Amino acid sequence: MKIAAFNMKNFGQKKVSDDKVVGYLVKIMSQYSIVVILEVMDESGEAMKLLLEKLNSSRSNKESPYGMICSKSLGRDTYKEKYVCFYRTKEVELKDSKQYADDQPGDEDAFAREPFILRFSCPSTAVTDIVLIPVHTQPVKAEKELDELFDVVQQVRTEWKTDVLSFSVSQWAGPHLFPPLFPEHHDFRRFQCKRSISVQEEEDKAPHPTASLLLADRR
């Protein structure tokens, strides 16, 4: 099973209506069991419904179609965007989802675009339970928002009783900002992970690659 996350930069009806763009997208997305897209500008949801239709109409996906879940529109002013997740329904099952409330007393509204938390059951893989936490950080606040992810992790661990977590973070927060492998950078609260930590930043065909941090703590 493979998981991907892309920042598509103002991704909405215009790009989805471009057959050439969608052709590339379908080819890329079809390589993965779960795909998270950041910076989706689609208030009505119609553009993402059209993308899902085109994705599932591809010959390679007809026997293993995708489902889709979208966050609410997020942002502090008139500029709003969503997180959208596509997943193969025969390979994984969406068990739960929640929008992080971002309302901690004394530290309200810490995120420009609050994380969208997704829990999947993956019965055919070694890790059968995984939580994805997409977040599109604000460039000037990337360090602050990454530090705040500690609170998100603690909440998820407490409420869902799981320690297998994966972050999908926008390009504004590259590997140099993650403290587990780079402790000399900044004063982050540390994620304690007993089993494995991996940080990877890929150059892909998507316009904006993301940095992914996988926490696999099997306590």
Question: Catalytic pick from 39, 81, 114, 145?
Answer: 81
Which DSSP state fits 181?
Answer: T
Would you state the structure tokens that stand for residue 165, as one six-digit string? 């977590």
User: Which residues 6+ apart lie within 8 Å of 192 measured at CB?
Assistant: 217
Question: Catalytic pick from 39, 114, 136, 145?
Answer: 136
136 is catalytic: yes
Write the secondary structure of 40-109 as one string of H (helix), E (strand) and C (coil): ECCCCCHHHHHHHHHHHHCHHHCCCCEEEEECCCECCCCCCEEEEEEEECCCCEEEEEEECCCCCCCCCC
108 is catalytic: no
Q: Catalytic residue positions?
A: 81, 136
